[in-house]
């Protein structure tokens, strides 16, 4: 049956009786977002670097510039034994496409870009795509919601025919990206509505977005628990007037930022308590950390690994 082929929410294990001396890789597929970790690098060189590092179990890629690069990337990914994830967020953000546009012509442009993304993701070996909602206006919020349902259903239907899933990443609603979805309760409503018509739909939650939506790890994860398919971790600066303000994904410990080892440890603790540690069906957990223009990408990646390892080690207590 088609339902058997669709990507569903991974199973959830009870949080008790988990030995935290075990490696984080026992419970999660650890990945990174290629275009964030190495924003200035050649994509093929970046894939080689990530695929050659056995710290990673997964890699997140986005739209390739041309057919030749795409085929070269596919060849490397096939050799890597990495879980391949596909982010369609840049397909929307770059050309400023809006999947919840009130204008039907504009909405269809976004839908077409996402349909194309599903095809590329399938070619690269990914089992799902990720995307985000578009900007909205208070006066047309309800109409925008209906437009987003329309777009998401069309993309889910197309993906379902290929045995693939569709995951929406939850972003801020008034700070930087300012998109419709949105605070956790509104994301839960949207996910519940979509699950009634598309069983291959889910959500991505990102630790770096929690400060930008004025929410905590516990609140977001408990609110969205039934719909979460995938995790991102990172950092944000939400103090106005400070460097890297907004959804810029600076390194952990960046001046005036919100997240460091303590906050990541709390995130892990909540995931454990809410039953997301399941060695039989592991969630992808990728870091979304971007070096500043004057920073070294490899050092920022190493910084992130250290924070992950330290926060995980603290969970043993």
Q: What is the pLDDT of residues 18-59, one digit of tens each?
A: 555 799 999 999 999 999 999 998 999 999 999 999 999 999
DSSP string, 184-200: HHHHHHHHHHHHTT-TT
Residue 71 pLDDT greater than 70, yes or no: yes
**Block residue for tokens 């275009």:** 35
As a whole-number percent, the residues of the chain with pLDDT over 90 amount to: 92
Q: What is the pLDDT of residues 92-122, one digit of tens each?
A: 999 999 999 999 999 999 999 999 999 999 9
Which domains, and CATH codes, for the chain?
2-314 (3.20.20.150)
Q: What is the pLDDT of residues 242-252, one digit of tens each?
A: 999 999 999 99
40 contacts: CB under 8 Å, gap ≥ 6: 297
| Mean pLDDT computed over 268-293 | 97
Give burial (CB, 10 Å; 0-12/13-18/19+) of 53: exposed
What average pLDDT does the chain have?
94
Q: Tell if the pTM clears 0.95, that is, is over it.
A: no
pLDDT at position 2 is: 40
pLDDT at position 21 is: 73
pLDDT at position 17 is: 56
298 contacts: CB under 8 Å, gap ≥ 6: none
Q: What is the pLDDT of residues 118-150, one digit of tens each?
A: 999 999 999 999 999 999 999 999 999 999 999
pLDDT at position 1 is: 40
């Amino acid at each position: 049956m088609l339902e058997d082929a669709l990507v569903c929410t991974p199973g959830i294990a009870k949080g008790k009786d988990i030995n935290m001396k075990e490696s984080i890789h026992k419970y999660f597929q650890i990945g990174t977002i290629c275009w964030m970790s190495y924003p200035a690098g050649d994509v093929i060189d970046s894939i080689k670097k990530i695929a050659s590092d056995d710290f990673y179990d997964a890699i997140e890629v986005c739209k390739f510039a041309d057919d030749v690069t795409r085929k070269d990337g596919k060849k490397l990914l096939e050799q890597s034994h990495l879980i391949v994830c596909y982010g369609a967020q840049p397909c929307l953000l770059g050309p400023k496409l809006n999947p919840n546009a009130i204008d039907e012509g504009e909405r269809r442009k976004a839908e077409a870009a996402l349909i194309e993304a599903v095809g590329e993701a399938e070619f690269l070996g990914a089992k799902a795509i990720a995307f985000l909602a578009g900007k909205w206006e208070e006066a047309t919020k309800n109409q925008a919601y209906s437009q987003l349902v329309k777009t998401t259903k069309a993309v889910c239907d197309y993906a379902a025919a290929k045995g693939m899933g569709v995951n929406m990443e939850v972003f801020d609603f008034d700070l930087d990206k300012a998109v419709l979805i949105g605070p956790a309760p509104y994301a839960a409503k949207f996910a519940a509505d979509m699950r009634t018509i598309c069983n291959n739909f889910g959500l991505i939650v990102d630790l770096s977005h929690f400060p930008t939506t004025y929410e905590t790890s516990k609140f977001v994860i408990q609110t969205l628990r039934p719909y979460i398919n995938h995790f991102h971790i990172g950092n944000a600066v939400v103090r106005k007037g400070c460097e890297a303000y907004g959804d810029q994904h600076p390194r952990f410990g960046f001046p005036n930022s919100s997240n460091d080892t303590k906050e990541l440890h709390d995130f892990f603790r909540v995931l454990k308590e809410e039953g997301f540690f399941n060695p039989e069906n592991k969630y992808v957990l990728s870091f979304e950390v971007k070096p500043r223009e004057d920073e070294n990408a490899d050092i920022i990646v190493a910084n992130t690994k250290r924070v992950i390892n330290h926060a995980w080690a603290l969970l043993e207590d």
